[in-house]
Amino acid sequence: ILDEAALAQAAAGVDAVVHLAALGSVPRSVKDPIASHHANATGTLMVLEAARREGAYVTGASSSSVYGSVPDLPRRENQPTRPMSPYAASKLATESYILAYGTSYGLPTLPFRFFNVYGPRQAAGHVYAAVIPVFIDAALRGEPLPLNGDGMQSRDFTFVDTVTWVLADAVHRKVTSDRPVNLAIGANVTLLDLIAELESMLGRELPIERRPDRVGDVKASQSEPVLLRDLFPGMPETKFEDGLRATLNWFLAEQGTGH
């Protein structure tokens, strides 16, 4: 997305843009904040410029990490933002630019604050992988689950089917908002809860490798999805247990095929 010519070619003639491109991961942003800023803030600006030339609708992904250390749960869109990492700050810039293009240029826009999206096909084999694929991959390999901190960190894990349904409906109906919208259903699952669910599904105890807390990590995260449900009344809401089982089954199937 930092390649202006490639962006112009990709955006030519489109009537909608779904902007999900980013450098994810809090730890990666702590290690290289400049790269996170370039990809997430400057990159978003370039996507918006390409969309503006086409007069296209834009929806894009910010992050629940923008709430940072705000103590109150669940997270509501009218709460203050307190980014704790360069990644969170870059995502605050992402949503701010999306909204600014709505007010400055009349572009129809809708920024979402993604929470912890998970599901089949989520990659596990890299240093910045998300916790659910990392835990499942370790469990299936017979390795200890790498647990940062005490395991009481809580997350609003959101199944990928919910996210893709909302994005598709937003584009189809050209839904707009003058503020970011939380995209999560209000779950509150600790990492220890996640491990217990995996143990139940696999029928065995899983060893844990204790690690230090991660710099910039948010302790607790949970959405208040009132605005989301108002804007998307037909949204499917997958229970965490069902989504986790579907994800585990996908990993088991991949293991069976030798991938």
Indicate which residues carry an active-site annotation.
87
- Which CA distances in Å does 22 have to 19, 98, 108, 131, 244? 9, 14, 21, 18, 25
Cβ distance 145 to 195 under 8 Å? yes
- Nearest in space to 133 (alpha carbons), one of 211, 250, 242, 216: 250
Q: What residue has token string 């994800």?
A: 247
Residue type, 254: E
Interior/surface letters 54-90, b for 16+ CB within 10 angstroms, e for the rest: bebbbbbbbbbbbbbebeebbbebeeebebbbbbbbb
Q: Where are the alpha helices (DSSP H) in 41-130?
A: 43-54, 86-105
